[in-house]
Amino acid sequence: NSNRAAIAHLQRQHYGRLYPVLLVAIDGSTTRLRYCEPKRILMLPLDSTTLPEAERKARLRRQMRGKPKAKTEEAFESIDLETYKRFWKK
């Protein structure tokens, strides 16, 4: 009751609010639960050891993209100097 809280400390460990969240399992089934952060959907991670070999390699290829391509620097020959001539007139 309320007198117990006034005399000694509360017996619960967490005082935070729990928010309703939709948990989506790997097979597509959903469950409503209470979570400490306000999110709409939580998805469980996929276990890659249960996937077939071809699908696992395809997932790895999508995750591990190649190195970013180096940008080619613009050469001064492609710039028309006549358009900027008004800036260095005396």
* DSSP states of 69-84: PPPPPPPGGGS-GGGG
- For the chain, what percent of residues have pLDDT higher than 90? 14
Amino acid at 2: S
Residue 26: burial class (beta carbons within 10 Å; 0-12, 13-18, 19+): exposed
- Answer with the residue of higher pLDDT: 46 or 22: 22
Q: How many angstroms separate the CA atoms of 4 and 73, rounded?
A: 73
pTM: 0.43
Residue 22 has pLDDT above 90, yes or no: yes
Which residues are CB-neighbours of 16 under 8 A, at least 6 positions away? 36
Instruction: Please write the tens of the pLDDT for every residue from 23-42.
Output: 998 888 999 998 888 999 98
User: How is the chain split into domains, by residue range?
Assistant: 11-65
